[in-house]
Structure 1
Amino acid sequence: MTHSSAHRSWRDALVVYRQAPVIAMLFLGFSAGLPFLLVFSTLTAWLRDVNVEVAAIGFFSWVGILYSIKFFWAPVVDRLPLPLLTSALGQRRGWMLLAQVTIATGLVGLAHTNPLDGLAAVAGFALLVAFGSATQDIVIDAFRIESAAEEVQAAMASTYIIGYRGGLLAAGAGALYIAALASWYWAYLAMAALVGVGMLTVLMRPEPQRSSLGVQLAHEPRVRAFLRTSRGQPRAWRHLAAWTIGAVVCPFTDFFARHGRKALWLLVFVGIYRISDLAMAAMANPLYIDLGFTLAEIANVTKLFGIAMSITGGILGGVLVVRYGIGPMLVAGALIVALTNLLFAALAVIGDQIPMLIVTIIGDNLANGLASTVFIAFLSSLTSRAYTATQYALFSSLMTLPGKFIGGFSGLVVASQGYMVFFIVASLLGLPAVWLAWRISRDRSLVPANEPATGQAKG
């Protein structure tokens, strides 16, 4: 079949959003987005509102480290069964419910803590929420990949992003409104109650079909080889070592075995695909402020147009992947992210003009929403369904680290060269990703041609 004949109709591309697994990701996305701001900007707003010292507030940014190192405990989440929960709900749903209970517990603890009297307790509960949130992210990614076929992954990523934005809105603007009308106590209790959205979704959706841990380990050549050579050793030690090989070593060796020499290029690509927008992110708000936009203008434009365009971009990305396939859209996503960074350079030249700010926000959020959806679908296609949690956690961590590291030097570039030069440089940083996306899109072993769906997704 030629590539052009593989294109599906627009109607078929849109119908995918009616499938149950796709709709479920809307609510799980909300559950994933809800706790994020509650341990970051919303929490720091609360601490400053009650006159906690700014120097102390700064240390709370370290809570975010848990999100960047989640791949360390992803193998445990991927393979370790939980007492009672796994037998009752399954591996994925059991861990997801435990993570959500952890988040709710941390939020209730925060609600009952006075920052002025127990700042250490606030930090402890914030870490608990972040740990539960990062763990939930691991499980949701695995649940999403295992719940439907590859041709549905982009649509699921799209509804996930929409739900995630809704969670951010609830934890950001929603919590602030409740705190203003009532108190921070009721704000955090309300957020704890909203964790129930994810819990209900877990209870209503079926567990994805996957082989049992024993069956998976039995098919691992490295595990079988170890068991053969370790006969005579204590039984408990052999089982623990076999589990460690299967849960920790095999996910990484599997990726390199499947892709060979291409594996290193794929990891480089994962690391640089979003480097352009992540490197410039820290300088967007300083640019607005230095140009003379008021905080109210920035908030109104970014909320009204930013969120709407991010959602639109996510939906558009899901439809276009179903219509044209991952390969072409992977190139398009990398290209438009790099190009829309030039809008910030133009804004830096034009200055305090609301219409140009609106155009910049629309372009940036539309591009990021589309590119994020396409890239999540691509990462899902790279992930082996035998090791979904571990491999995807590695990909998602690698995806953000280079851009965040380079972004740390963004202020130095702005201070020495100015905003216009900085955003042009940030745009140029995206060109290697465009080239690699083009090369990868031509490799049918990595990005197969888009074929019409042969069956419906599960459930």
Structure 2
Amino acid sequence: MLPLGFSSGLPFLLVFSTLSAWLREAGISRTEIGLLSWVALAYSLKFVWAPIVDRYDVPVLARLLGRRRGWMALSQIVTAAGLVGIALGDPQTHLSLTIASALLVAFASATQDVVIDGWRIDAASTERQGMMAASLQLGYRLALICAGAGALYIAEFVNWHSAYLAMAALMGVGLAATVLAPRLDEAAPRERLPFAAAVVEPLTELFRRKGPILIPILALIACFRLPDFVAGVMANSLYIDLGFSKADIANVSKLYGVWIGIAGAFAGGLAATRLGLWWTLLIGAVIAAASNLMFSWLAVAGARLDLLVLAISVDNFAGGFAGSALVAYMSGLTAPGYAATQYALLSSLYALPGKLIGGGSGAVVDAYGYPLLFSATAAIGIPLVILCLVVRRDTTRTAAEKDAEPDGKPALATQPRA
């Protein structure tokens, strides 16, 4: 899980904030950078093709590696090819090639996330999923260091083309993990349902089990990380516009900040154990949104390195804390018989509004400035608190029901795994 987590995390920043830094340095307008962030919508729409990954084989590769590993290998190879395409392009003269390659990376990387989650669910029992998720998270965060700080260092001392070629080579880590991972398909053959049924069944089960409370649950998930995604699009542009060097950004935001985020993630996990899931979710919603006020302060104060360190510390710790709370919450909403597709749906949903609104963030900055953008995203914490209060009874009831089960597994675990 550690190298698979690394492979999962590596492409994300390369089509998100790291690419935004290259585009801004190349003279691309902030409005266009915001619009280009929409290529990452693939991560929010992955539930659409998740049933295909769950039930159909990749020709040739499936015979050699099995269904899960075949999809892993294909998605990793295509991701690497897309990164090479970005490296060979030039945003100033061939922006269309950069966009097309970034879209290919996002689609292949989102597919990889689906299949890795499916493999994780199949590979370990329920009581071992915590350790699997922890290993995945650590690998993911290490990849963020490479794709953030590592790429910026290479771009600073060599060039952007070399940075993206190096990142394409690092996808070999995930490919090696795919080859070494246990082959699970033969032990768990899957029924070949029509595609429509494969999509509809997990959704209808979720609606049937939760009822009307599912509406505020989905609204909470959709808006929970909205402040982080909007900030992620414009943060690097803010740093560049304030005059920070790429080395400063790499040191503070992409290296130091990642470790602060890891600390926040562990703090969120500990809080869920000691305080309970609902309190952790509420705290995460408040601090993740409020942390965006630090960027407003930085935008007003100017290029102060001490304030940059403080802003990154607060934002990354809050983001890591909130991320752990949200993953635990979404995992608790799934039914074992449909866990892979339902988790793909929920994890897609939480990123969708942020991607859509983030696409217009550059236009807001051009019209009103950075302070207003980040202050407005911080205000999202108010409706998030209200939604947390609405779902409190369902959250505590679900947690109590799972705690009361003698084997720690929900009753739906008797259903055949999708």
What interval of TM-score do these two structures reach, taking the shorter chain for normalisation? Answer: 0.7 to 0.9
Tell me the SS of whatever aligns to 1:365: helix
- 1:16 corresponding residue in structure 2: none
Q: Aligned to 1:377, which of 328, 343, 367? A: 328
Deviation at 1:77? 1.0
Distance (whole Å) between structure 1 residues aligned to residue 374 and residue 90 of structure 2: 42
Q: Which residue identity is paired with 1:339? A: A
1:312 maps onto 2:263 in alignment: yes
- 2:381 corresponding residue in structure 1: 430
Question: Structure 1 pair 104/407, CA: closer, same or farther in 2 (3 Å)?
Answer: closer
Q: Aligned to 2:177, which of 197, 201, 207? A: 201
- 1:274 corresponding residue in structure 2: 225
1:93 maps onto 2:69 in alignment: yes
C-alpha contact 1:145 1:380 (8 A) present in aligned 2: no
1:241-252 correspondence to structure 2 within 5 Å: 242-252=193-203
- 1:401 corresponding residue in structure 2: 352
- 2:399 corresponding residue in structure 1: 447
Distance (whole Å) between structure 2 residues aligned to residue 109 and residue 419 of structure 1: 32
C-alpha contact 2:148 2:250 (8 A) present in aligned 1: no
Q: Aligned to 1:212, which of 183, 189, 197? A: 189
Q: Aligned to 1:294, which of 244, 247, 250? A: 244
C-alpha contact 1:161 1:373 (8 A) present in aligned 2: no
C-alpha contact 1:413 1:422 (8 A) present in aligned 2: yes
Unmatched tracts of structure 1, length 5 or more: 1-23, 218-241
Unmatched tracts of structure 2, length 5 or more: 410-418
C-alpha contact 1:77 1:389 (8 A) present in aligned 2: no
Distance (whole Å) between structure 2 residues aligned to residue 44 and residue 253 of structure 1: 39
Distance (whole Å) between structure 2 residues aligned to residue 154 and residue 247 of structure 1: 27
Q: Aligned to 2:48, which of 72, 77, 92? A: 72
- 1:27 corresponding residue in structure 2: 3
Distance (whole Å) between structure 2 residues aligned to residue 199 and residue 244 of structure 1: 28
Q: Which residue identity is paired with 1:312? A: A
- 1:134 corresponding residue in structure 2: 110
Question: Structure 1 pair 441/204, CA: closer, same or farther in 2 (3 Å)?
Answer: farther
> How big is each residue's C-alpha offset from its partner over 1:273-319, in whole Å with a ceiling of 9 and x where there is no partner?
223433454554566677x5634655543235422211211222234
- 1:143 corresponding residue in structure 2: 119
Distance (whole Å) between structure 2 residues aligned to residue 420 and residue 126 of structure 1: 29
> How big is each residue's C-alpha offset from its partner over 1:49-84, in whole Å with a ceiling of 9 and x where there is no partner?
8x79879x8686553343333222222112213344
- 2:338 corresponding residue in structure 1: 387
Tell me the SS of whatever aligns to 2:327: helix
C-alpha contact 1:312 1:366 (8 A) present in aligned 2: yes
Question: Structure 1 pair 359/390, CA: closer, same or farther in 2 (3 Å)?
Answer: same
Tell me the SS of whatever aligns to 2:76: helix
RMSD of aligned residue pairs (Cα, Å):
4.1
Q: Which residue identity is paired with 1:340? A: S
Distance (whole Å) between structure 1 residues aligned to residue 14 and residue 73 of structure 2: 19
Distance (whole Å) between structure 2 residues aligned to residue 130 and residue 363 of structure 1: 28
Distance (whole Å) between structure 1 residues aligned to residue 65 and residue 15 of structure 2: 29
Tell me the SS of whatever aligns to 1:213: coil
Corresponding residue pairs, total = 404
Question: Structure 1 pair 180/334, CA: closer, same or farther in 2 (3 Å)?
Answer: closer
Tell me the SS of whatever aligns to 1:206: coil
C-alpha contact 1:30 1:165 (8 A) present in aligned 2: yes
- 2:209 corresponding residue in structure 1: 258
- 2:414 corresponding residue in structure 1: none
C-alpha contact 1:150 1:381 (8 A) present in aligned 2: no
Deviation at 1:383? 2.4
Deviation at 1:204? 2.7
1:329 maps onto 2:305 in alignment: no
Q: Which residue identity is paired with 1:399? A: Y
C-alpha contact 1:155 1:315 (8 A) present in aligned 2: no
Q: Which residue identity is paired with 1:77? A: V
- 1:238 corresponding residue in structure 2: none
C-alpha contact 2:289 2:381 (8 A) present in aligned 1: yes
Question: Structure 1 pair 348/195, CA: closer, same or farther in 2 (3 Å)?
Answer: closer
Distance (whole Å) between structure 2 residues aligned to residue 118 and residue 415 of structure 1: 24
C-alpha contact 2:44 2:350 (8 A) present in aligned 1: no
> How big is each residue's C-alpha offset from its partner over 1:4-54, in whole Å with a ceiling of 9 and x where there is no partner?
xxxxxxxxxxxxxxxxxxxx2x322210122234445656777888x7987
Percent identity over the alignment is 46
Distance (whole Å) between structure 2 residues aligned to residue 339 and residue 183 of structure 1: 36
C-alpha contact 2:300 2:371 (8 A) present in aligned 1: yes
C-alpha contact 1:154 1:377 (8 A) present in aligned 2: no
Question: Structure 1 pair 189/202, CA: closer, same or farther in 2 (3 Å)?
Answer: same
Q: Which residue identity is paired with 1:140? A: I
Question: Structure 1 pair 28/391, CA: closer, same or farther in 2 (3 Å)?
Answer: same
Tell me the SS of whatever aligns to 1:82: coil
Q: Which residue identity is paired with 1:447? A: A
Under a length normalisation based on structure 2, what TM-score does the superposition of the two structures give? 0.78
Under a length normalisation based on structure 1, what TM-score does the superposition of the two structures give? 0.72
Distance (whole Å) between structure 1 residues aligned to residue 90 and residue 363 of structure 2: 38
Q: Which residue identity is paired with 1:446? A: T
C-alpha contact 1:154 1:317 (8 A) present in aligned 2: no
Q: Which residue identity is paired with 2:78? A: T
- Give the structure with higher Rg (CA): 1
